[in-house]
A = this chain, B = another copy of it.
Amino acid sequence: MSRRSGVLEFAVLGLLRESPMHGYELRKRLNTSLGVFRAFSYGTLYPCLKTLVAQGWLTEEAAPEDPLATAPLGGRRAKIVYRLTPEGKEHFEDLLAQTGPDAWEDEQFGVRFAFFGHTERDVRMRVLEGRRSRLEERLERMRASLARTRERLDDYTLELQRHGMESVEREVRWLNELIETERAGRGRAKGRPAETGRDDTDPSDTTK
């Protein structure tokens, strides 16, 4: 048994932290609220939910508005609502506090960032800085490799590498800004939504 995904598990626990949901809705949130992320299929999601229940981190309950919920019939299928247990919440907090190397790999980092609103500030800093140095290592290797092979490559290959490096450099600059903001204490911390708009916090924020 056990489909232990890491990212998916993290995302599911995090989303359920806000409010109980059933699988179908959960899946949609994974593509929207949780952003730009890859869409997990039901074939991944449902088995994952089962194992999380088995771990004791979630409970299954029939949807309250569901008429089948109270029917004593066996075998009928009703909408299943998943709710985070106290143990599940605790486990999620543990995950949030982790700052190991995994946390700055491409995939993990995305989810980690998405839940920064629930993350302690020093943890945020460590994750951001870890991510940055990971990217800087990557840049270093790309530069080295490029220097070694520059002449043997045709223009398209070269252009591809150039664009790739530029993307990474761009993300590093992004991280620098974020780290700067955190350092200045303007980081939007735990559970304080900072009012996505008028308020203070960030004069450079346009987007609307």
Q: Which residues of A contact B (CB under 8 A)?
A: 31-36, 110, 113-117, 142, 144-145, 147-165, 167, 170, 174, 178, 188, 191, 193-194, 196, 199, 201-202, 205-208
Q: A148: which B residues are within 8 A, CB to CB? A: 32, 207-208
What is the predominant secondary structure among interface residues of chain A facing chain B? helix
Could you tell me if B36 and A160 are in contact, using CB atoms closer than 8 angstroms? Answer: yes
In the assembly, what is the distance between CA of A202 and CA of B159, in Å? 12
List the B side residues contacting A35 at CB < 8 Å: 157, 160-161, 164
Shortest Cβ gap from A181 to chain B (Å): 10
How far in angstroms is the closest Cβ of chain B from A26? 15
Chain B residue numbers with a CB within 8 Å of A164 are: 35-36
A77 CB to nearest chain B CB (Å):
29
Q: Considering only CB atoms, which chain B residue lies closest to A34 in the complex?
A: B157
Contact between A113 and B162, CB atoms less than 8 A apart: no
Which residues of the other chain, B, contact A155 by a CB distance below 8 angstroms?
117, 188, 193-194, 196, 201-202
Which one, B116, B142, B160, contacts A113 given CB within 8 A?
Answer: B160
Shortest distance from the beta carbon of A109 to any chain B beta carbon, whole Å: 10
A206 to B80: give the CA distance in the assembly, Å.
59
Q: Which of A32, A155, A161 has the most CB of B within 10 A?
A: A155
Chain B, Cβ-Cβ closest to A124: B156
Contacts of A32 in B (CB 8 A): 145, 148-149
Q: Which B residues lie within 8 Å of A160 (CB)?
A: 35-36, 110, 113-114
